[in-house]
Structure 1
Amino acid sequence: MTDTSTIDRSKDVSQPVERLGPDEALKLHSNYLRGHIDEDLLDRITGGVTFASNKLMKFHGIYQQDDRDIRDERRRQKLEPAHSFMVRVRLPGGICTPEQWLKVDELARAHGGNTIRLTTRQTFQFHWIVKEDIKPTIQGLQQVLLDTVAACGDDARTVMATADPLDSDVHAEVAALSRQLSDHVIPKTRAYAEIWYGQEKVATTDDEEPFYGRTYLPRKFKIGFAVPPFNDIDIYTQDMGFIAIVGDEGVEGFNLTIGGGMGRNDQDLNTYARLGDVVGYFPKERLLAVADAVMSVQRDYGNRAERSRARFKYTVDDKGLGFIVAAIEERSGAPLEPVRPFAFESNGDAYGWRVTDRGLFNYGLFIENGRIAGRMMDGIAAIARVHSGQIRLTPNQSLNIAGIEPARKPIIEALLSEYGLLGSDQGSALRLNSMACVALPTCPLAMAEAERYLPELVTKIEGLLAEHGLSDEPITIRMTGCPNGCARPYVAEIALTGRAPGKYNLWLGAGFHGQRLSRLVAENIGEATILDILSGYFAAFAERRKPGQHFGDFVDSELDRAADLSALTV
């Protein structure tokens, strides 16, 4: 990689306190993310932590939550909420060794309610961890070289990378780069090691965070690598994305995307989902320099007064794409080259058996909504005990058991069969392209169900598809419990975002491989209306679709046609 010693990673851009929003002031005075977390962890009067510690613990990969199923009952009993914590692992590229999987399994059984959650960003989440079990969980992860640094917070989150089902040399190279970049961009404060590993505290200095400074980034910053033709990471939803351009010798460089993001607020028209712009190409030797440049632009120009407008997508729109690109080029030390040709085919996963060029085998295992428990959890642990390759988490909440030696294939196939996991790819094309966020009962932002409800709704939609002869049609469907977009709904052909218990906004018409945003079709509707609207579109799609046309493309053209007719009528 290029020498980045000439890149300014030391600029402290902390604004005057009176110009900072509350979160910014909190970071400024946190002593580089230490705050009073240590003291709060020792307080046994409450199962939670203070507001300030909850905010700061996010930078350490930890969210305070409570069981919302029993929140009202506890309030009536004059009890505090049933606090627990979500702990998220940093897992660049979603790559996990069997040893690491078994440790995650062990910790989930000991502290996390006997369940593992795979996220939409290729990592693990533990739920239901009580306060006194946070340290043992994080220290257990350390034993297998895993951590939770920057898995949340106003910093660069876990770096994603395409989960190539064919296990190519290019995939291996990109996966290694995702690890290198993740290690490069995480905060450097010693607070994490002091609080969670019990390492000796040292006096802090102004160079403790040479890149982030005292106030870190204005908001979270998401990064991902895509390897065409797979867009499983939804490259256009990333704050900063790298599209691999491949030549005879492997990865030559990357097309850079900037300014993507899913989060929005139904009550704030100044917030919106945005697709990233592909702004140019650079050779792979400049990866760290370009990444530093992009992040430093957001660090220095991002909105630190209005948190709802603090994501990089708003910085790009407020400053202008031309201004941002020029700043990136100046800070990285070289202009971007013209975009290189590339093409995507889908943003889903591949399931079932695949054979690689090396004569090894991969098995794509569908995990509905990423939740692993019970017999499935037992089965994957049994596989991990005999597997010598990798277990890869996909961007769509499923698994790729990769690098299976031919001699071990019958053993692993027998275990898949024994635990009812073989043939997980036999579900409908709709179900295999479904995804949901956690939502209730743990997420404090959720207004409606998602993970617990989507499988039931998919079953009903499958019935409608069968009526119209569309059962084998691959259609992406995603559901979130709020409009924030954790399951990347706005690039799904069918999307439902929660508004209230049992009520959703319905979005349709996104591109099949994530290249176009969906459109709002109906607001605050229940299941009966959702199914009625979808049935109408399925009927029209079955009757009038063009050869090879995807459902999202058809709906998009139908919405255009309806808008044109409406304009003519007016």
Structure 2
Amino acid sequence: MATSIGATNSVILKDSKVKIHGFHGLRSSYSSGSVVPLRRCARVSSSSSIVQAVSAPVKPNTSTEPKRSKVEIFKEHSNFIRYPLNEELLTEAPNINEAATQLIKFHGSYQQYNRDDRGTRSYSFMLRTKNPCGKVPNQLYLAMDSLADEFGIGTLRLTTRQTFQLHGVVKKDLKTVMSTIIKSMGSTLGACGDLNRNVLAPAAPFTRKDYVLAQETADNIAALLSPQSGFYYDTWIDGEKIMSAEPPEVTKARNDNSHGTNFPDSPEPIYGTQFLPRKFKVAVTVPTDNSVDILTNDIGVVVVSEAVGEPQGFNIYVGGGMGRTHRVETTFPRLGEPLGYVPKEDILYVVKAIVATQRDNGRRDDRRYSRMKYLISSWGIEKFRSAVEQYYGKKLEPFRELPEWEFKSYLGWHEQGNGGLFCGLHVDNGRIGGKMKTTLREIIEKYNLNVRLTPNQNIILCDVRPATKRPISTALAQAGLLHPRYVDPLNLTAMACPAFPLCPLAITEAERGIPDILKRVRAVFEKVGLKYSESVVIRVTGCPNGCARPYMAELGLVGDGPNSYQIWLGGTPNQTSLAQTFLNKVKVQDLEKVLEPLFYCWKRKRQAKESFGSFTNRIGFEKLNEIVEKWDGIIASPSRFNLKLFADKETFEAMDDLAKEQNKNAHQLAMEVVRNFVVDQKNGKAG
């Protein structure tokens, strides 16, 4: 049975009981009719009916099995992610057991409990949708909005991977909520778990050829890497068939086994019984547009066009990833690096080849080291490229030169290119609730709008008719969804993960803590004389897993203990540089002792237009540590911009009440009002 290097085959065994050895370190018995995955060097002995299958890196004819994590065992015995979840969902208990807790992730859900409560744990489930490119049809948005009120905690959360998270669903309601999402043109399949997660792409609904291709490619990659064994629909809608028109090129690429990427005759031709070693993330974009944090993904795909704008192919980055463990130096965040270029008709085959390389060689013994970034760091890019090329069946072309990346938020009003408009709305920390939630629903329902979610936790209203721009703008402003010029620049680029009270991994606050942190940073800015229009990219996470991508921030705060953070410095505004650890275990109440000298030094010693992140990299951490340690809290010259704006207590109190509704202080809001008045007056005169 000859196969190409790295190839994987399967056989159907009937009327016999056989034992399989070594497939991804597995040993299990299969009865008649079983699908048995076979790796290269597999042998079938007709006399003994014994199948021996050896998976790299185990050598043939050895009895030693590599260690494997508990999750690998759960997957092995799950009948393609069904058992014991299917049984646990039927019990009266409010929670599910350990194996089912791991398996339900593949269905797009995490079991959680409220960590603010004391005594008996109050279990609930978080559901995460899967929305390639952040696309949310009108019907799905309205369904999610209703589900949040009826079965959740009354809010929707926008994630850093262009999806919704619905918190607080109790076990007995899971099937109702899941089936509603599915029947409303949505899905949660693969939003979590050891498989491909949501595929990112620029959320802006431009009709330009390169943007259209990027979004179509993201859709196709998502379809290609979607599980095929039916476990999701069996569990939540009793196996009901959901009609979906899959592009023929996706079906063709999935079924192609010319170079041994597939498990023939398996319900999961790409994933097999064990799926991937860990989560897998893909993003697609166009040159200059780094709204997707392209270098933080396992695979980054970039459209490459001719000078006249006709897309020709794709550059491929590989090996990005954020997760790490505090003070374990063998774990680390990593940026993706160039792998090569492929013509546009080959993109699905190359993506599949990369996934197969990680599937067959990624570590399955210790989940801390199972992401593809560790495989590439261990092998080096040349060896990894060679393995991918064997699955791809040809050589990758050299990586094409790209222009410099820019962060694009797409906030405010823009033309789509087809006569319609879109409006990008800033949502602090991605949390939609209260009057904002009510107003968004009314607008989306009244004007029959589709929406898109951005990787920066914001929302875009799409396909707006120009005649409806004015009434929509008025309704948004009344709900506190302000034009970006009225939002504090610090808030515009800030992100935080949910952390407490529901995330079981959280060490300290993130989403609940960042509003106060941003206010305090703004106060430091004013104290040291930085202008209101200036900003730094701030990201806060409650643990080191990096869900809000803090390791790309100019100022990253990473939970490092109760009410304390690691401080990371050195990212850049266009998200192309990796930050580094500056200080450990800084108590939240002591942040000003670090931030004041850093921002004061930046104000005084920066070069022309030098960002805070670039400044910290140029000065160096040794010098910055010395500055922080010697800081005496004295500002040489107080800011001439820190003006007293209130002549009476009554005006101050009224402004303060308005400011609190926008998570600001009275001084900040007053400065915005004055500034915008002056701008409007100037524009009026200029007109």
State the TM-score bracket (shorter-chain normalisation).
Answer: over 0.9
Question: Deviation at 1:279?
Answer: 1.9
Aligned: 1:487 with 2:497? no
Aligned: 1:33 with 2:94? no
> Which stretch of the first structure deviates more once superposed, 175-184 or 113-122?
175-184
Counterpart position of 1:373:
433
Question: Deviation at 1:200?
Answer: 7.3
- 1:125-524 map, 5 Å: 125-164=165-204, 168-199=208-239, 207-247=266-306, 248-467=308-527, 468-524=529-585
Rounded to whole Å, the distance in 1 between the matches of 2:404 and 2:113 is 40
Question: Deviation at 1:348?
Answer: 4.9
What do the CA deviations read for 1:288-345 (whole angstroms, capped 9, x no partner)? 1010000000001000111111110001111221110111122112222222122344
Conserved in 2, the CA contact under 8 Å of 1:165 and 1:354? no
1:159/1:481 CA distance change after superposition, 3 Å = same
Rounded to whole Å, the distance in 1 between the matches of 2:240 and 2:473 is 48
User: Secondary structure in 1 aligned to 2:444?
Assistant: helix
Match among 21, 24, 32 for residue 14 of structure 1: 24
Counterpart position of 2:155:
115
What do the CA deviations read for 1:390-435 (whole angstroms, capped 9, x no partner)? 3110000001112211122223223213323232542221111100
Counterpart position of 2:110:
63
> Which stretch of the first structure deviates more once superposed, 385-394 or 270-279?
385-394
Q: For this pair of structures, how many residues does the alignment match?
A: 549
User: Secondary structure in 2 aligned to 1:417?
Assistant: helix
> Which stretch of the first structure deviates more once superposed, 242-251 or 211-220?
242-251
Aligned: 1:48 with 2:58? no
Counterpart position of 1:124:
164
1:118/1:362 CA distance change after superposition, 3 Å = same
Sequence identity (%): 35
Question: Deviation at 1:360?
Answer: 2.1
User: Secondary structure in 2 aligned to 1:524?
Assistant: strand
Conserved in 1, the CA contact under 8 Å of 2:198 and 2:281? yes
1:199/1:501 CA distance change after superposition, 3 Å = same
Conserved in 2, the CA contact under 8 Å of 1:366 and 1:425? no
Conserved in 2, the CA contact under 8 Å of 1:365 and 1:425? no
What do the CA deviations read for 1:454-509 (whole angstroms, capped 9, x no partner)? 01100010111123223212311000000000001100100000012210000011
> Which stretch of the first structure deviates more once superposed, 245-254 or 400-409?
245-254
Rounded to whole Å, the distance in 1 between the matches of 2:90 and 2:224 is 32
Counterpart position of 1:93:
133
Rounded to whole Å, the distance in 1 between the matches of 2:169 and 2:625 is 53
Question: Deviation at 1:173?
Answer: 2.4
TM-score when normalising by structure 2? 0.77
User: Secondary structure in 1 aligned to 2:534?
Assistant: coil
Question: Deviation at 1:8?
Answer: 6.5
Counterpart position of 2:651:
none
Please list every run of 5 or more consecutive structure 1 residues that lacks an aligned counterpart in the other structure.
Answer: 1-6
Rounded to whole Å, the distance in 2 between the matches of 1:274 and 1:89 is 26
> Which stretch of the first structure deviates more once superposed, 555-564 or 315-324?
555-564
Please list every run of 5 or more consecutive structure 2 residues that lacks an aligned counterpart in the other structure.
Answer: 1-5, 11-21, 28-64, 242-263, 628-687
Question: Deviation at 1:56?
Answer: 0.4
1:328/1:233 CA distance change after superposition, 3 Å = same
User: Structure 1: which amino acid aligns with 2:113?
Assistant: D
Rounded to whole Å, the distance in 1 between the matches of 2:78 and 2:416 is 49
User: Structure 2: which amino acid aligns with 1:304?
Assistant: R
Conserved in 2, the CA contact under 8 Å of 1:9 and 1:212? no
Rounded to whole Å, the distance in 1 between the matches of 2:343 and 2:382 is 21
1:564/1:379 CA distance change after superposition, 3 Å = closer
The structure that has the greater radius of gyration is: 2
Counterpart position of 2:675:
none
User: Structure 2: which amino acid aligns with 1:14?
Assistant: H
User: Secondary structure in 1 aligned to 2:575?
Assistant: coil
1:429/1:105 CA distance change after superposition, 3 Å = same
Conserved in 2, the CA contact under 8 Å of 1:33 and 1:189? no
Question: Deviation at 1:193?
Answer: 1.0
Question: Deviation at 1:107?
Answer: 1.1
What do the CA deviations read for 1:110-130 (whole angstroms, capped 9, x no partner)? 111111010000000100000
Rounded to whole Å, the distance in 2 between the matches of 1:228 and 1:324 is 25
Rounded to whole Å, the distance in 1 between the matches of 2:591 and 2:199 is 35
Rounded to whole Å, the distance in 2 between the matches of 1:207 and 1:312 is 24
> Which stretch of the first structure deviates more once superposed, 442-451 or 236-245?
236-245
User: Secondary structure in 2 aligned to 1:407?
Assistant: helix
Question: Deviation at 1:215?
Answer: 0.7
What do the CA deviations read for 1:354-406 (whole angstroms, capped 9, x no partner)? 22333322211000111011111001101111334431100000011122111
Conserved in 1, the CA contact under 8 Å of 2:423 and 2:462? yes
Conserved in 1, the CA contact under 8 Å of 2:544 and 2:558? yes
User: Structure 1: which amino acid aligns with 2:380?
Assistant: G
Conserved in 2, the CA contact under 8 Å of 1:475 and 1:512? yes
Question: Deviation at 1:164?
Answer: 3.0
Aligned: 1:527 with 2:575? no
- The root-mean-square deviation of aligned C-alpha atoms, in Å, is 2.2
Question: Deviation at 1:21?
Answer: 1.9
Question: Deviation at 1:38?
Answer: 1.7
Rounded to whole Å, the distance in 2 between the matches of 1:10 and 1:390 is 43
> Which stretch of the first structure deviates more once superposed, 278-287 or 210-219?
278-287
